[in-house]
Amino acid sequence: MPQRTVRFTIRPDGRVEELLEGVSGEACQQLTERLEAALGTVERREFTAEAFQQPEFQSQPLPNHLH
């Protein structure tokens, strides 16, 4: 499992910038929505390239009795 990192930058004017690394697709918003709700109103979102990637799923072979 890749490492997930949330970085916050608090600006002198009180604005908080959040950067989530190691999560792709819609999972990034799901992981941060409770944090964002606690911080206040989200004024703007900028998505990184990672946000547009499809999450990778590890496939495992089915047991013989399920084929």
Give the whole-angstrom CA distance, residue 37 versus residue 40: 5
Side-chain half-sphere exposure of 1, counting CA atoms within 13 A: 4
- pLDDT tens digits, residue range 6-32? 888 999 998 888 888 888 777 778 888
The total number of structural domains in the chain stands at 1
Cα 21 from chain centre: 7
Q: Residue 26: which domain range? A: 1-43
pTM of the entire structure?
0.60
Kindly state whether residue 60 falls inside one of the protein's structural domains: no
Of 27, 25, 8, give the one whose Cα is nearest residue 17: 8
> Does 52 have pLDDT greater than 80?
no
Kindly state whether residue 11 falls inside one of the protein's structural domains: yes
